[in-house]
């Protein structure tokens, strides 16, 4: 479980839904930082208008999916008016069929928020009071308990969304603002929230969306934006500590292959290395290395490809945020139409693309770490960066840890979205597996942050040996990272318990302290 902010003190930013659309940064603020939500007047008017249209169909003799029929393969069954509340209630109860570990709080909040954002478009036909109940749960810090397994990523993230809808009905289990598990009915009563009794179509509208996979994509993109800059920092620090050359990062070389991500990454590395006294630069009458190994020299190409992949994924996310995904949907001209917009393929693909990119960036990082430990490639550093090689093992097994994570990331890079398994008596015969793609991407991003942290652990330790040998001073950015690490990670000495040092390095990366230290020294990175 993630931490639970204290909602009783201090002002919280309020973000309005409806109108211009939800910004990715606002979605992350609500999911992760407990920013408040409110429904705009326009959203409430649009919801009331579409609801009136749904209610006008309630007594129509023609069947309308989700209003007067069963669901999925049971859509041919006509449901009498007096049983339609039972139909919607039963839909939520039966579809809340998740199992396995509990999903992280920020993911569940993103899931609820994005469904609420779609409700606010007025294209789903739910009553405003249903949307108000979702907003109330978010603002009260009440988080439905959602499980790892249950979504196939088609017909929406059905089971995860059903667990959320169940809580709005006052049923099932939730965690309150303090993180304590509670019965939903008790938590809602304590917060003064009236449970919702669902009417025609409303249960269906609460579960037919790509909200879980989109929420995980938005959170992943937010984290990757920082981690890919940290990857540039780590690569530059390794170039310095391995006495490499910076000539390959010149802007005119990268203009010959003008991928925007590559240019940005090269510019970051060049900026960090600009004032370094450890870089090998050609001089008259002396021999220097002409070129470094690929893991150093080609960092902008790999990091840049990951950046461009993230940019494509962000464009998909922006389209999804501007979408109204439901089935059936209320069109602007007043029709109620079945459709396939709930299929998660667009989101599932990019979630898989990002897992591939994360694995490759981590793989290159681990190769740089390994160079520090091998006397044949480290250019004068002691074996395994050990204080007394033989008596001490230094960072030998830290590299094993990085290698093990990279191996796991390669497995996580196997696409989920190429899989499909038919469901609902072959009515839903092709599914996206986008939820599974999102779940593995979260693990991949965590692994990437750990591999980068181990590389920085190695480069800062190598820097101590360079300084002791009088090889020159690093640039201000690398010096700032070194100083940060030395606040709680000891300089080289006899072997110590390594795991806590790795955890401290990971905390410096994941908290944003590494990036903040670098940008304070050399300005904002691209």
Chain centroid offset of residue 382 CA: 38
**Cis geometry, peptide bond prior to residue 328 (ω within 30 degrees of 0):** yes
SS (H, E, C) 159-221: HHHHHHHHHHCCCCEEECCCCCEEEHHHHHHHHCCCCCCCCCCHHHHCCCCCHHHHHHHHHHH
> What is the DSSP-derived secondary structure letter of residue 375?
T
3-state secondary structure 125-157: CCCHHHHHHHHHHHHHCCEECCEEECCCCCCCC
User: Do the Cβ atoms of 114 and 214 come closer than 8 Å?
Assistant: yes
Q: Closest by alpha carbon to 151, among 210, 206, 238?
A: 210
Using only the alpha carbons of the chain, give its radius of gyration. 27
Distances 328 to 67, 208, 303 between C-alpha atoms, Å = 9, 9, 42
400 is catalytic: no
Number of H helices, E strands in the chain: 19, 9
- DSSP code for 72: G
Active-site position among 65, 149, 294, 400: 65
Name the DSSP class of 15.
Answer: E
Is residue 473 within a helix (H) or strand (E), and if so which, with residue range?
A: none
Catalytic residues: 65
């Amino acid at each position: 479980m993630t931490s639970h902010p204290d909602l009783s003190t201090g002002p919280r930013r309020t973000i309005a839904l409806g109108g211009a659309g939800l910004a990715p940064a606002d979605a992350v603020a609500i999911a992760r930082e407990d920013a408040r939500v409110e429904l705009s007047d326009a959203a409430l008017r649009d919801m009331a208008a579409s609801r009136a249209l749904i209610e006008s169909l309630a007594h129509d003799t023609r069947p309308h999916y989700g209003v007067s029929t069963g669901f999925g393969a049971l859509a041919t069954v006509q449901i009498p008016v007096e049983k339609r509340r039972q139909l919607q209630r039963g839909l939520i109860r039966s579809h809340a069929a998740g199992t396995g570990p509990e999903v992280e709080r920020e993911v569940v909040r993103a899931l609820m928020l994005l469904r609420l954002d779609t409700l606010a478009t007025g294209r789903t036909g739910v009553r405003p009071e249903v949307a108000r109940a979702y907003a109330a749960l978010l603002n009260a810090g009440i988080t439905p308990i959602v499980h790892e397994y249950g979504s196939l990523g088609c017909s929406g993230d059905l089971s995860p969304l059903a667990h959320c809808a169940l809580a709005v009905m006052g049923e099932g289990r939730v965690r309150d603002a303090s993180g304590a598990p509670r019965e939903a009915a008790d938590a809602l009563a304590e917060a003064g929230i009236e449970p919702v009794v669902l009417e025609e179509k409303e249960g269906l509208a609460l579960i037919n969306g790509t909200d879980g996979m989109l929420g995980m994509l938005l959170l992943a993109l937010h984290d990757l934006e920082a981690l890919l800059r940290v990857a540039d920092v780590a690569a530059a620090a390794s170039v310095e500590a391995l006495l490499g050359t910076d000539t390959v990062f010149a802007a005119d070389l990268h203009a010959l292959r003008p991928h925007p991500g590559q240019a940005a990454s090269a510019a970051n590395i060049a900026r960090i290395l600009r004032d370094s006294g450890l870089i090998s630069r050609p001089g008259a009458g002396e021999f220097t290395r002409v070129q470094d190994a690929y893991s150093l020299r080609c960092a902008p190409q790999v990091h840049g490809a990951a950046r461009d992949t993230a940019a494509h994924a962000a464009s998909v996310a922006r389209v999804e945020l501007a979408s109204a995904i439901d089935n059936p949907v209320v069109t602007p001209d007043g029709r109620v139409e079945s459709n396939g917009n709930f299929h998660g393929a667009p989101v599932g693909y990019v979630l898989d693309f990002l897992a591939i990119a994360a694995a490759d960036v981590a793989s290159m990082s681990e190769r740089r770490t390994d160079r520090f430990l091998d006397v044949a490639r480290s250019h004068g550093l002691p074996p395994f960066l050990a204080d007394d090689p033989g008596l001490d093992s230094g960072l030998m097994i830290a590299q094993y840890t990085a290698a093990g994570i990279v191996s796991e990331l390669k497995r996580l890079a196997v696409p989920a979205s190429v899989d499909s398994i038919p469901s609902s008596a072959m009515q839903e015969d092709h599914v996206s597996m986008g939820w599974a793609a999102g779940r593995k991407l979260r693990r991949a991003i965590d692994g990437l942050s750990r591999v980068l942290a181990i590389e920085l652990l190695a480069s800062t330790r190598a820097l101590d040996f360079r300084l002791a040998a009088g090889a020159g001073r690093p640039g201000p950015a690398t010096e700032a990272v070194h100083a940060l690490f030395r606040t709680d990670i000891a300089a080289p000495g006899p072997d110590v318990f390594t795991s806590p040092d790795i955890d401290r390095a990971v905390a410096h990366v994941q908290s944003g302290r590494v990036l903040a230290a670098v940008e304070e020294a050399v300005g904002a990175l691209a």
